[in-house]
Amino acid sequence: MTDRDATADPDPRLDPAAMRKRYRVTGLDEDDLADGPMEQFGRWFEEAVEQDLVHEPNAMVVSTADTDGRPSSRTVLMKHYDDQGFVFYTNYGSRKARELDANPHVSLLFPWHPMARQVLVTGIARRTGRDETAAYFRTRPHGSQLGAWASAQSSVIASRAELESSYAELEARYPEGEQVPVPPHWGGFRIAPRTVEFWQGRDNRLHDRLRYTAWPSGGWHVERLSP
């Protein structure tokens, strides 16, 4: 680094401490909430899709922990939601699947930054049934079906060429138009929510945070959290 480089003023655009965004004025009020969190999620999800501001609004960060409590996170695509929770699919040999099998407590985060919104979920994961898994697998593009076989997700491989070679062998075995069997090591997880927080950004960092929490006897109650 030259003396000139050392004394040059830093680019303020690259300084995280100087980054500022003004959040929306419109807030989130208890009177506007749906009776249950999945209905409320549906409202926000529809808005995220219709406003077309969020790239892949079904993308969510899934955080798991192993039996020693060491966490890990990754982004996956939600493929279904209903009153029973949120569903995604994965290789059951992957790190997240192994951790969920050992410790089913999980958190989800939908980061809809362009709308100044987040949805935060905590819940319990369980595997989907094979019929449900097969029904979804049939809707996947042919290449994605082959990819589910080609990738031993989360395992160490020697090179990209090894992965592409595996895919090419499968492509020759199951050409376009031929049915690809559902991998036995691949399937879904459904996250049954225990808490669902709806976070709406507001001016001066006085954000709205409304959280649904499940009653042990059934139903939900709503709490407002301080930002």
Annotated catalytic residues are 205
Phi-psi region of 40 (alpha: psi -120 to 50; beta: other; left: phi over 0): alpha
For residues 32, 38, 41 and 46, what is the CA-based torsion angle, rounded to 10 degrees? -100
Q: What is the CA radius of gyration of the chain?
A: 22
- Could you tell me whether strands 105-112 and 71-77 are parallel, antiparallel, or unpaired per DSSP bridges? unpaired
Residue that is written with structure tokens 């589910």 in the block: 148
**Nearest CA among 202, 145, 197, 151 for reference residue 174:** 145
Q: Give me the helices (H) in the chain, please.
A: 3-7, 37-51, 95-102, 130-137, 142-150, 160-173
Can you tell me which residue has the tokens 């996947």? 140
